[in-house]
Amino acid sequence: MPTLDWLNRDAAFRIADRVPTRVLRPHAAGHRFGTAGAGNLLVHGDNLEALKALLPFYRGRVKCIFIDPPYNTKSAFEHYDDNLEHSQWLSMMLPRLQLLREFLREDGSLWVTIDDNEGHYLKVLMDEVFGRTNFVANVVWQKKYAKQNDAQWLSTSHDHVLAYARKANAWRPNKVARTADQLKGFANIDDDPRGPWQSVVYTCAKTKSERPNLYYPIEHPSTKKSVLPLESRVWAYDSTKHEQHVRENRIWWGKNHEKDKPRLKVFLSELADGVVADTLWLRDLVGDNQDSKREGLALFGGGVFGTPKPERFMGHLISIATSEGDLVLDSFLGSGTTAAVAHKMGRRWIGIEMGEHAVTHCVPRLQKVIDGERGGISDAVNWQGGGGFELMQLGEPLFDAVGDIHPEVRFADLAAFVWLRETGAAWQPGAAGTPLLGRAGDTAYYLLFNGILGDRRPEAGNVLTSAVLEALRQTCWHAGPKVVYGEACRLGEARLAAEGLVFKQLPHALPR
């Protein structure tokens, strides 16, 4: 498969591995907003470091990721350095895409907005990270209506939205509601008791030689003449199915039998609830830049960014990619649109933003959502307010400069890291106060750290002794193979073997 080559490409592929895993801590500006335990998270900090910190807790759990990264348009934005040299931009995007891929569920998807400055390079880069077979579509969004008469060449009216599945054979998009224009074609001009309907062509794109059974005469109800399809485009149904359509009054020749070929009546009541989403997102359907600027003015009294996305845009995307209760992630949160829309639509969300506006703009915006703010998609989804979120910031790395566990690290921080390294999965905390991290296959994993067993000497239960082993036996014993992490072990090899136990010493046994 063709790949991109750029300055420091090889180093860019190693950036994600070299980023230290940091702990997440409650933000100094406040921690909980609204209802506790809502499962929503706003992280203030560098998105690469934040993704690395979140990975042990959320790997493989996210249904939809949306990002609106800097477009590298060679123009200075207020909150981002958008004037990166091309190779720097690629080196910035690569490690973030690598980490984002790890967050996705098997049936998850990633959507990235971009313009022509880097869009086609990004497509090739994402092919390499996600695999070409997992490319879903290049959505074209009509971002503005007015023509740019001072454009150097052509007036640009669209952006791209590149969509990729984690695994294409597992991802299934939702259908979307029919628009008013799509519903206009349905009527009930013959008072059919089955309700509104529209007529569709009765032929298909097959030839007489390909499907001879679909080439047969149909009698016109008025003229009584035999009607044949074109030899290059035969009927869509065989004669048996056609007879059924006649019995069920599904054939339409026009109100006065004026049509020379039959059409099929398709009833709105018999159709599925939605239609397959299109790759052309017009402003009438999802809004444009002017809509998002108006939303910003209403929320903040001024625009936060020059090119935010309108709430209808995000609502359409989230409707296609997720269902209620799913987890949505945006690591370039900007003014907070993704989080606000996901919240109103009953999805859980994680937003990451490094600028100070994470606190000065995103937090107030999301508080307004909790309070029942009526802008954007609120009326369309009947938003009444409620829910909550936590505001977090990045703390110290798990390991200090010499490789020791940092003194600020707590049990849950290290537990998630150990579980991810051992199993490759996100950690789901079990019963509080137990060193059992969980079971993967027939093996159980334990962590003796930070006095998890209470005041059982030596070192408050961080050393594997006979007493600590007995405490494990009484509280969270596993009959099969066991792996125990701890500061030290006082048991001999024979005893460990007899117990089916492998001991790994902290911090040296931890794969980084």
74 band by pLDDT with thresholds 50, 70 and 90: low
pLDDT digits (tens, 9 = 90+) for 204-219: 999 999 999 999 999 9
**CA 445 to chain CA centroid, nearest Å:** 30
Residues 283 and 353 placed together within one structural domain of the fold: yes
Whether residues 138 and 19 fall in one domain: yes
Phi, psi of 165 (to 5 degrees): -95, 150
- DSSP-assigned letter for residue 404: P
Q: What is the pLDDT of residue 459?
A: 46
In 10 A of CB 300, how many CB atoms? Answer: 15
Does one domain contain both 20 and 100?
A: yes
Strands 280-281 and 135-142: parallel
Residue 510 lies in a domain: no
147: pLDDT strictly greater than 70: yes
CA angle 128, 129, 130 (to 5 degrees): 100
Distance CA 359, CA 26 (A): 13
Per-residue pLDDT tens digits for 303-320: 556 677 999 999 999 999
Q: Which of 201, 199, 204, 197 is nearest to 270 (CA)?
A: 197
Number of domains, the chain: 3
Considering the domain architecture, whether residues 19 and 135 belong to the same structural domain is answered as yes
Cβ(470)–Cβ(508) under 8 Å?
Answer: no
From 55-69, 72-86, 87-101, 175-189, the region with the lowest mean pLDDT: 72-86
**Do 127 and 14 share a structural domain?**
yes
* pLDDT surpassing 50 at residue 256: yes
Q: Which domain holds residue 446?
A: 411-505
326 lies in the same domain as 262: no
8 Å CB contact between 465 and 458: yes
The helix-helix angle for 119-130 and 86-103 (nearest 10°) equals 40
Burial zone of 84 (CB within 10 Å; 0-12 exposed, 13-18 middle, 19+ buried):
middle
